[in-house]
Amino acid sequence: MNGLDSEAQNVRQPVAFAVRELRVDAAHAGQRLDNILIGLLKGVPKSRIYRMVRSGEVRVNKHRARADYRVQAQDLLRLPPVRTGERSVAQPPPITLQVLFEDDALLAIDKPAGLAVHGGSGVSHGVIEHLRASRPQARFLELAHRLDRETSGVLLIAKRRSALLALHAQLREGRCAKHYRAVVRGRWPLRTKTLNFALDKGMTGSGERVVRVAEGGREARTRVTGLAHAQPAELGMLSQVDALLETGRTHQIRVHLAHAGFPIAGDRKYGDFELNKKLEKRVYKRMFLHALSIEIMHPSEGRSVRLEAPLPEDFERLVPACTQEPR
């Protein structure tokens, strides 16, 4: 049975094929299932790929799997019949992305709020598509982790497969210190409290993905420190907080803070909708969550590297706070 690399190289012209089964080799272990499929099924719209995963047309070891499942060496992938091939795709419009750090193995950027990290689910282009279009000479560019579309801040991109695997291992094993800043509704005390609520993924009646606090869910811990309070006219009491992720679950900070009674300002999914309306009237049209910093071991040099994205001006205008990061 052919490995993934040889299968991917065979995809050139539009072709319809029958069911295929592929064995994951060691070089591709640790990658997300959706990224594997996007590489294999060139020319297939990402919306179609995600539908195939959700519907169970794609199987891993004869079972359904989520798009964010990280494949393991020797996993058996089943791909349904689908027409592939290179298709004419509009290039992403040029944008300026602030580079925080770059060397031969790693690229860190300050992702703007409102920009998705990748295309799909109604989004034509994301950060990774923009980077690949602006750097056609780059042989390898892959997201090392993800940020929600409305979250700004530090985003890591691997420039080598070895760097990607090393970063994935650090993130998976909790060996990265990730600090976020948020503005929340209410008066969070000027001290540290750990939120320890198990989380589970689900769907609303309309088919929208949501994350909920649930018994039996995956363990999730967020250490939250109050930094400052303010009470802007008509907005009520707001607090600026630092959130240190001790685990890395989907929407973890947003759901934890909302469940604790301190929803993030501007959060359209889990937030206070009346507060959000008032913020929009005052021209604050973003979610107030920012990936402030991440500390990692450099994937090829083995030294500690701390990367920081400046706090957006909106945060300080809304709730001025100290700039010293909590210990």
Three-class SS state of 97: coil
Q: Which of 52, 118, 120 is nearest to 83 (CA)?
A: 52
| DSSP string over 181-244 | EEEEES---SSEEEEE--EEEEE-TTS-EEEEE-TTSB--EEEEEEEEEE--TTT--EEEEEEE
For residue 327, give every residue at least 6 positions away whose Cβ sits within 8 Å of its Cβ, in sequence order, or none: none
Q: Output the CA–CA distances (angstroms, integers) from residue 268 to 223, 265, 294, in the order listed.
A: 23, 9, 25
d(CA 141, CA 158): 6
| Catalytic choice (34, 75, 110, 148) | 148
The four Cα atoms 253, 121, 5, 64 give a dihedral, to 10 degrees, of: 70
Tokens of 200: 């589970």
Tell me, yes or no, if 148 is annotated catalytic.
yes
Residues designated as active site: 148
